[in-house]
Amino acid sequence: MTNAPTYLAAKQRITALVAHADPHTPVAATPGWSVKDVVAHLAGGLRDFADHRSDGVESGEWGERQVRDRRGNSLEDAFAEWDANLERAEPLFDSPLGPVLVSEVVAHEHDLRTALGVPGDRGGVEVRAALVRPLQEIDQRMRENDVPALRVVLEHGDRVLGHGDPAGTVRTTSFELLRAIGGRRSADQIRALDWEGDPDVWISSLALSGRLRAEPFEE
């Protein structure tokens, strides 16, 4: 499954999901944002990716700026911008940014599903595709910081992150790993996964955004 079809399928699912929803419904996975704000972020983020604008990514201001700049827009405005920016960003799907776009849209699809009480397919190929780039980045981070290697066992197979023989193992699902990596789980929730070894050795590496939720997030 290539990046563009995966992204477009997620966009279509999101469009159908929120078509008749209250655009002001809070999205707990992204505190302070509504359904409309999440769609505005996806639209604005695509424009920023196309423009290679990444200021504020580390601090979280990147997404907050996109939402803040579009607060007065309607949900229809957000979808219209998303459509327009999709054409602008089309070349990115065949670039190293392609898997990043997939990870972004699939993560936010599940944010919206949880907010609206409409769970989707959590074990499908889309979720596994959304893990590709985050796991590459975690692997690189662990190698650069000499973090002991970790074996990750998922429902479709396993892989080792980091350099050398694994010093520990975590067993979970692709969906739970994606949510943990994306800051949708607390440290205690990550510790509660099926571990061999001390999870605190790896928690900071798995928190790719650099942020963990202070309180558990159930979905």
What is the pLDDT tens value at each position of the chain, 219 positions in all? Answer: 589 999 999 999 999 999 999 999 999 999 999 999 999 999 999 999 999 888 777 777 888 999 999 999 999 999 999 999 999 999 999 999 999 999 999 999 999 999 999 999 999 999 999 999 999 999 999 999 999 999 999 998 999 999 999 999 999 999 999 999 999 999 999 999 999 999 999 999 998 877 789 999 999
Quote the CA–CA distance of 100 and 150 in Å, as a whole number: 23
pTM: 0.94
Check: CATH 3.30.1050 for 125-206? yes
Rounded CA separation 108/101 (Å): 11
d(CA 194, CA 211): 21
Strand spans (E) along the chain: 150-154, 157-161, 168-171, 194-196
What residue ranges do the domains of the chain occupy? 3-116, 125-206
